[in-house]
Amino acid sequence: MAEKILEVKDLAISFKTQYGILKAIRGVSFDLYKGETLAIVGESGSGKSVTSRAIMGLLAGNSVYEGGSVMYAGRDLIQMPEELFHQIRGSKISMIFQDPMSSLNPIMRVGDQITEALMFKLKMPKAIAKRKAIELMESVGITEAEKRYYQFPFQFSGGMRQRIVISIALANNAEILICDEPTTALDVTIQGQILDLINQLKKERKLSVIFITHDLGVVANMADRIAVMYAGKIVEIGKAEEVFYNPQHPYTWALLSSMPNLATSKKLDAIPGTPPNMIYPPKGDAFAPRNKYALEIDYEEQPPLFKVSETHYAATWLLHPNAPKVTPPDAVIRLRNNRGSINK
């Protein structure tokens, strides 16, 4: 087993709103190992981005930590004073966001933005930082880097802007890279290029990556492990091949059934209903009202994480020894019978 680099345990986060307390994260636990890519997958509002921002210490002012810990290098980031956290954020743990323009200064040359990051965090002299910035631009696939160093963000395409953001995130030799839906705003071709780039940089720099997405298909060929989130909880976690080819939770079944697959012309299955209002969290399994396989107990009691294998767990009462046996949807059975048919 690879060395553990990050440990999130029983993390619980709420937000104060004008309508009441919103329970955004409800006891999330997972580990991140050196050199692996952990994908966190779920619909909008499932808690993926809140979890990643909690790791970075970037939550809004109305957030409340209800409990839990985020352990890195023997320290709990949740309890760490901001002046110490500031030394880790961007240096040891970096993050790239969905919209690169939210990370770039529109009136500052892109090269200067990378140079400034190197000078600020690594205390490099400006001339050395500039040379390093050009090398970083080249390393993320930007051609004519010496010329483009002097250009502004609006002179770059969406994919190229994302490459600039990646170069800034890696400027300080971070160990952990958190990618929060970094390809959502890009077309399919450019999306594939950015995914390949992240994979390449992960291997070259021995990075540990947390990849946030709503689309299981995006991480099919890059994730080592997958955590599926719903209503602020992890409902299934395991190796990528376990989650894709032996999924156990009905929500994972629903996500896989709604994923495009070029191997079949069958129409996609939409997930009925909407996620619950977490100002009024449900008593039982939050997915029960949308789950055609729901049992009576699902409406009364939250299921624990049942062990499927040493590396695979799922929170569904269908795994209880006394539960009735149900057949997964056709799309899930097709995936199981046609390994390797998943498309990026």
What are the chain's domains?
4-46+70-226 (3.40.50.300), 228-337 (no CATH)
The mean pLDDT value for 209-216 works out to 93
For the chain, what is the mean pLDDT? 91
pLDDT at 261: 63
> Is the pLDDT reported for residue 66 higher than 50?
yes
pLDDT at 153 over 80: yes
**3-state class (DSSP) for residue 78:** coil
Instruction: Give which of 280, 260, 242, 275 is closest to 341, Cα–Cα.
Output: 260
Long-range CB contacts (within 8 A, 24+) of 119-127: 121/90, 121/91, 121/171, 121/172, 122/171, 122/172
The predicted pLDDT at position 264 comes to 54
Contacts of 332 (CB under 8 A, 6+ apart): 247, 253, 256, 257
Note whether 61 and 32 are within 8 A (CB).
Answer: no
Model confidence at 262, in pLDDT bands (50, 70, 90)?
A: very low
For the chain, percent of residues with pLDDT exceeding 90: 73
Does residue 341 carry a pLDDT above 70?
Answer: no
Are the CB atoms for 32 and 4 separated by under 8 Å? Answer: yes
3-state secondary structure of 202: helix
Which contiguous run of DSSP H or E holds residue 68? strand 63-72
Give the per-residue pLDDT at 69. 96
Give 271-291 pLDDT, tens digit per residue.
889 999 999 999 999 999 999
So what's the pLDDT on residue 344? 40
Of 291, 321, 292, nearest to 307 (Cα)? 321
- Give mean pLDDT, residues 42-48: 93
Q: What is the pLDDT of residue 145?
A: 95
Alpha-carbon torsion angle 329, 334, 340, 343, nearest 10: -60
Nearest residue to 176 (alpha-carbon basis) of 91, 99, 79: 91
Q: Are the C-beta atoms of residues 133 and 149 closer than 8 Å to each other?
A: yes
Q: CA angle 301-283-50, nearest 5°?
A: 110
pLDDT tier, 270 (very low <50, low <70, confident <90, very high otherwise) = confident
